[in-house]
Amino acid sequence: MYSISETIARILMPRTDHVFGLMGNGNAWFVDALERLGRGIITVRHEVATVAAADAYHRVTRRPAVATTTYGAGFTNTITALADASLSRIPLLLVVGTAPSTGPRFFDVDQQGLARAVGVETFTVHADDVAAVTLQAWDYALENRTPVILEIPYELAAVTATDPTAADAFNYVLSAPQISAAPDVTELVQALHNAQNPLILTGRGAREAQHSILELADLLAADVATSAPARGFFNAPGNFRDLGVCGGFAAAGAASEMRRADVVLVFGAGLNQFTMAFGEAFGELAEVFQVDLEPHATNPRVNHFLNADATAVADAVLAELRAQNFRAPRRLHLEDNPLARPDGDALAADGRLDPRSLMRQLNDILPANKLVASDGGHFIGWANTYFDLESPDSIVLLGTAFQSIGLGFPTAVGVATAAGQERLTVLVTGDGGGMMALADADTFLRTAHRGVVIVFNDAAYGAEIHQYGTKGLSETPMLIPEIDFAGILGAMGAQASVIRELGDLDAFRSWMDSGATGTYVLDCRISKSVIAPYMQEIISV
């Protein structure tokens, strides 16, 4: 028989590839068990990174990951990332210590209450049920697509497990995913058959249905678009027109074309306020069909909701249209180049970098198959509008659901783990969020086989400057002394350059061309005067 902690470790090891953790009193025995069993953990420097990295790893790979922290302060430090994972429907398991089963100590907090406050369920193990409860927690996370807490009471961590089902729980065979039967698609088929300007919009939830949706888009000769994380979904030849990202990040011409759609078919996109451009993404008369695993429509703008698997619906619609010998009519396109975006100037009027011309240069230097981790802040619009991306989930926007900043470096740890040695990991962060997350800059440098950190350094909290400084609020609390990120991360072992003009990118271009491993930091001194189009939209709301 094994200890409770080792029993949990042995159950989880065949079910997950990686554990992201930080050791403390409450999880020391669990971490030690993983080490002795040859798995170990990817060690982070701040507890929020345990959950954020596990979350990001799942978004790229679709494989569940495990996070682990101690009790109390270690647990409370994870709450921001837990809230975002909960809102984003990310299945992961957080193994934590907790108060003794005999009762709380003076410093213990109500961890289960805190977890419930952000929509996360908690499962607590004991000696006689550790295997059953661990499996229950694991299955709950996967079936409900949600983070779950697995608690080990403090005094039980090293106690021998007596659960008779433990031996069977150590064995694990991955089952093939089940595709549910499609609901009645008659109304949807009729609408698509009669549509003059159909638009298919996909989100992260449609990734497994990509082949079927591409076939459907081709048959319909439809316009297509994606949510921000799903960019790259339609990077394939076909009889459809890719309008890029939908919502606030859309190019002006593409947004105009999307508003012409008379039927909008949405697969696996949550239709949040950003994807919906605060209600302006679609025309007033557009008939909106949403296909999702959620029990109900996720936006009031949806006219018809199908609670179903995206592959099942796409295949059923394809079969019906083909049975009707459907032939797409000639579509009228008003925009010749709907994806066109401003090139920007070499330098902005204040003599600092124009982020638009900077992004043009960086997109030319960086490879197409990069994986991008993005923190939140005003700068979030630049990577989402100027970087070419190869496939869906090539950009991870962790924190946007909870509208958090400061999760960039932790996110990049999970992305770099998923990238391995095959793909370049690019972290895009601002100076404000970058300073919040700096503890795990070291973790990213240790984890990334080949990485790039792009800091949009405008010496300010840019989003606040543009949203509230423009309304007359004092800008003093919104300003940041200009931080030398090149110096800080250079001292940690990265190669680094301060970028004040486009010519300063030459050394970075040479580094990229050389194939060198390690991490290169670009401390880009950008102007506060260039406002991203999506931010202008927010300001006007």
Q: Tell me the C-alpha distance between 422 and 413, whole Å.
A: 15
Band of residue 176 on the pLDDT scale cut at 50, 70, 90: low
Region 517-530: mean pLDDT is: 96
Residue 280 CA: distances (Å) to CA of 52, 277, 359, 541: 31, 5, 27, 11
Band of residue 337 on the pLDDT scale cut at 50, 70, 90: confident
Type of residue found at 174: L
**How far is CA 507 from its chain centroid?**
30
Q: Tell me the C-alpha distance between 222 and 289, whole Å.
A: 15
Region 80-100: mean pLDDT is: 97
Structure tokens at 160: 């021998």
Strands (E), 329-433: 371-374, 395-396, 425-430
**How far is CA 537 from its chain centroid?**
23
The whole-number pLDDT of residue 179 equals 66
Strands (E), 99-240: 121-124, 147-153, 198-202, 223-226
Question: Cα(first)–Cα(last) distance of the chain, in Å?
Answer: 62
Q: How many other C-beta atoms can be found within 10 angstroms of the C-beta atom of residue 328?
A: 17
Q: Tell me the C-alpha distance between 259 and 3, whole Å.
A: 60
Alpha-helix runs per DSSP H in 98-198: 111-117, 130-144, 166-169, 186-194
Q: Tell me the C-alpha distance between 36 and 514, whole Å.
A: 39
pLDDT in tens, 467-514: 888 888 998 999 999 999 999 999 999 999 999 999 999 999 999 999
Band of residue 177 on the pLDDT scale cut at 50, 70, 90: low
Q: Tell me the C-alpha distance between 164 and 150, whole Å.
A: 19
The whole-number pLDDT of residue 174 equals 73
Please, are residues 496 and 486 in contact by the beta-carbon 8 Å criterion? yes
Structure tokens at 311: 């592959």
Q: What is the DSSP letter of 58?
A: H
Residue 336 has pLDDT above 90, yes or no: no
Alpha-helix runs per DSSP H in 13-129: 28-36, 48-61, 73-76, 79-87, 111-117
> Residue 303, CB half-sphere, CA atoms under 13 Å: how many?
15
89 burial (CB, 10 Å; 0-12 / 13-18 / 19+) is: middle
Band of residue 244 on the pLDDT scale cut at 50, 70, 90: very high
Structure tokens at 74: 């270690």
Q: Does the predicted TM-score (pTM) go above 0.75?
A: yes
The domain made up of 355-540 has a fold known as: Rossmann fold (3.40.50)
The domain made up of 4-169 has a fold known as: Rossmann fold (3.40.50)
Pinpoint the residues of the chain covered by CATH 3.40.50.1220: 186-323
Pinpoint the residues of the chain covered by CATH 3.40.50.970: 4-169, 355-540
Lookup result for tokens 């100076």: 431
Structure tokens at 257: 């074309």
Q: Would the CA dihedral through 393, 394, 395, 396 be positive or negative?
A: positive
**How far is CA 202 from its chain centroid?**
15
> Residue 366, CB half-sphere, CA atoms under 13 Å: how many?
30
Mention every residue, 6+ apart, whose C-beta is less than 8 A from residue 74: 22, 24, 26, 27, 47, 96, 97
Stated length of the chain: 541
Q: Which CATH class is domain 186-323?
A: alpha beta
Type of residue found at 397: L
pLDDT in tens, 104-134: 999 999 999 999 999 999 999 999 999 999 9
